[in-house]
Amino acid sequence: MNIERVAVIGAGVMGSGIAAQVANAGIAVYLLDLPAQEGSNRNAIAEAAIAKLLTTEPPPLMLSENVGLIHPGNNEDDLFRLAEVDWVIEAVVENPAVKRDLYRKLDKVCRPGTLISSNTSSLPLHVLTQELPDSFKRRFLITHFFNPPRYMRLLELVTSSDLAPEALDRIRVFADQKLGKGCVLCHDTPGFIANRIGTFWIQTAIREAIALNLSVEQSDAVMTLFGIPKTGVFGLLDLVGLDLMPHILKSFLQTLPAEDKLRDIAAIPSLMTDMIEQGYTGRKGKGGFYRLK
């Protein structure tokens, strides 16, 4: 069964970016967030997210000719629409209780063949499916997109032995052929692969820059010329949002076994805490390690 209609729940940084990438591939997508608490337009959060996609510069996340393929909504009035879709991608806040509550509703409203996945960056799959029925476990996996989805080719996939065998194939074919992703299968470990390794080099980069009195430009020049990411470590933190790191690290620490050596380096540096407190959260805030132009 092909994937012809998609829904994304959570119209934040990731959900809206994922919805844009799906629409850019010519696929219709519902983008649902919470109903707005102020004003009469209950879809205001998702609508504002779509408007932002068109104006993000650089890089544009949304091709304007495909914007009509994204349909904004809210998860109270429009949940019934998910009965029409083939794949629901959950991209709400990184809170297992909030995610599980949503999954219970999705399991009731979605058709049996509909795939459901989470974009969690750190929560293990077995935590997300705790106390959920078998009908849910058969259709659920983690599809971990990276920011910004349009430009990051990696898609981490985490599955369980409960997943229906054809479900993984359907996601892989769609992700490869329609979204141009390179899929990597990961074990159900806290942080999967990229965040385990990424946490190590981000933390090390900050500590070494402070210890050696390096400028962020020097550090990132070394990393980019060394061939790691295009932005360097500090540029990447500005792009992703500095305020995301405490959340990732907190839930990461909660899930790491006591003997896991990553625990020793997973504490957030105080420099970063100070910056977040002062609103220097990166490109979405007052700037971050780099000034805004």
Contact residues toward ligand NAD (CB under 6 A) are: 9-15, 33-34, 45, 75, 91-94, 98, 102, 119-121, 145-147, 240-241, 244
Least Cβ distance, residue 104 to ligand NAD (angstroms) = 11
Q: How far is the CB of 1 from ligand NAD (least distance, A)?
A: 26
Residues 6+ apart with CB under 8 A from 84: 5
CA 87/CA 29 separation, integer angstroms: 10
Cis peptide before 148 (omega within 30 of 0): yes
Nearer to ligand NAD, 33 or 238 (CB): 33
Q: Cβ 250 to ligand NAD, closest distance in Å?
A: 11
CA distances from 63 to 27, 208, 273 (A): 13, 40, 36
Nearer to ligand NAD, 94 or 238 (CB): 94
Q: How far is the CB of 211 from ligand NAD (least distance, A)?
A: 27
CB of 65 to ligand NAD, least distance (A): 24
Pick between residue 15 and residue 163 the one whose CB is nearest to ligand NAD.
15
Question: Can you say whether the dihedral through the CA atoms of 166, 168, 169, 175 is positive or negative?
Answer: positive
- Peptide linkage before 246 cis (omega within 30 of 0): no
Question: What is the three-class DSSP state of 268?
Answer: coil
Nearer to ligand NAD, 215 or 254 (CB): 254
Nearer to ligand NAD, 93 or 211 (CB): 93
Pick between residue 95 and residue 218 the one whose CB is nearest to ligand NAD.
Answer: 95
Provide the minimum distance between the beta carbon of 245 and ligand NAD in the complex, in angstroms, as a whole number.
Answer: 10
- Order of strands across the sheet that contains 115-118: 70-74, 28-33, 5-9, 87-90, 115-118, 140-144, 154-158, 182-186
Q: Which residue is nearest to ligand NAD (CB)?
A: 12
Q: Is 169 exposed, middle or buried (CB count within 10 Å of its CB: 0-12, 13-18, 19+)?
A: exposed
